[in-house]
Structure 1
Amino acid sequence: MRDPIALVVVARDAVPLHARLLTTLQATLPRVGVLDPGVFACDLAGTEELLGTPAQVARRVLARCARAGARASAGIAPTPFVARVVAERTPPGEVRAIDDGRTYLAVLPIDVLPVDEKTHDELRLLGLVTVGDFADLPRGSVFERFGSAVARAHALARGEYGDMIRASAPPRRLRARRAWDDAIASHEQLVFALRVVVDEVARALARDGLAALRLDLRLDREGAPPLRLERTVLPPTRESAALLRSLRWALEERSDLGLVVGCALEIPEVEAARGRQVGLFAPDGARREEAIATARYLREKLGPGAVLRARVADPDARLPERASEWVEVIA
């Protein structure tokens, strides 16, 4: 028997409180996903030593939801689908845990399955009344007659399909500030001075496994109002060099810097860091120096012959494969 690992919290009539509840749960739980407005899921696998038993975690979560003004219930089960069904059938303020999802679902009406009304009607015409009736059908027959969507619902009914909880990184606002005794008047000096600030936020991003989506730079100026610069970072990154390069391009577009005596750099929007793809068609990536720097880096890491580009060899060739060839990029 599989240990319960999925926690689903259902808040009744809490759509207006959705954002507040999400923030509350993200501060309490790992990997919080949103199934629907007011319905949240969390994967508790491997967290018992750190957070306590799933039931203890659920009770703490419900207490926080109550303080936020929401009437919520919690379900704990091997899969998110079963946990949600349990939570929806549990009174507000209470927690219920289920070990065997298939047994629990078997006696419930077939309406709980996530299929369209037409499919529900067809299943009833076949004499299927409960989830257990549907779960007892052969897998292959369900797929052949109804297709993949209903086959997925069949797997849910059998307690076999564990939906991945897709969690987004909680909103973060990372900031770094600096002030300088001597005013900075040139672009080059300012970019050099900003490196320390950028390195600080880059370390914070790396520590939390995040990548910056936007940059907000405020420059405090002597005898003039602060100057604000906003940049969208495409592709999102946590690399200090890429963040500094984006700010440098923003500064190059301004000729009215004045005398800068301080700065504040903020990352108002982030996402979970992931594998990086060179954004040659993005505003911050469509620069020749970005492509050259990336090619050099890959060549150093992977060795000669690893970074190639297409070159037109014969524009009049009758066969496409003879019209071009691959050559090594040596920047």
Structure 2
Amino acid sequence: MDAFFASVEVRRHPELAGTPVIVGGHGNRGVVTSATYEARRYGVHSAMPVSRALRLCPTATVLPGDLALYEEVSRSVMALFRSITPVVQPLSLDEAFLDVSGSGRRLGDALAIAEHIRSRVHDEQGITCSVGVAGSMFVAKLASTHSKPDGLLVVRPPEVMAFLHPLPVGALWGVGPKTEDVLLRLGLRTVGDLAHVPAQTLQRAVGAAAGRHLHELSWGRDPRRVVPDEPDRSTGAEETFSTDVDDPQVVHRELLRLSERTAGRLRSAGHLARTVSIKVRFADFHTITRSRTLAAPTDVGQELYDTARALYDALGLDRARIRLVGVRAERLVDEGSAAQQLELGVREHGRRDAELAADRAARRFGAGAVRPGTLIRPAAGGGGRP
């Protein structure tokens, strides 16, 4: 999808069509999560501080975002994809690989299918998407990126080298800033430059595994296949405080809020978590994580919070200044396959029933309709809503 979060917001606020729109957090600590192409023309991009984005594009409208809405649109888009082929591998809320090799008899060749996808996404969801078509996942991904926004590019097998080799080396999967710097120092500026360097030379420069990987990609060789519906490995939430905090009670309240949010996502997806982890980022941006495996998998917010709080308290931070905290549920299993739910005691059953009731209230009255009492009042210095 093109500028997915921002596009969904423009769909909801049609008066903003054609104007620069930024989705992201407010305040000095907010970061850009999405921006329309009108904003991107000013240099705005994701992960940029909102304050800097507004300096670059002072006329932009900043919206806080609505993850529940984006997830709903994503589910509809993925359902559309699965109506075309069962072999769909989502990468994120707004991106997926589709293997359409078995859909030709019903829908036509790959070009016709790509046009069909773009038309249906626009007609049914009111947003645009860009589609890359190729014989390998790697080249299809690059073609999709190359055709943005609202475009379509087909790279047929005989055309792969002509498409691939003029691209900068940074376009290759696995080339981050450090690897790119190494390659540029060797005079390798394009994928074509890299392709004509012996594999052994690349291996000496960037390591054996990375060298082999980049050499194969530079010749368009990608043996991977689309893996349909790969299970989610984790889900979670994090929050950057509007100002650095050193009060453990404030951190505890934020951990509770994040645990409740994470548990809601688990229940919505029908998952249970075997492991809980926390992330703590300090004022100097140093970041640490800690995790603990549970005795039994859960989707109960209170259980996630009890573990997250214990992990945090065990750090013994002694009034350290905290910039960000996060809670993550990991090693997910399908709710229906876990016998743990049959073994819950009365207390756990009661807590889960209460959280399920809160889910129903949220669906009817909006997020936050039912909350733990300690979250009724905002946390001083907290980064999110109470």
Greater helix share, structure number = 2
Greater strand share, structure number = 1
Decide which structure has the larger Cα Rg and report it.
Answer: 1
Pairwise TM-score range, normalised by the shorter structure: 0.3 to 0.5
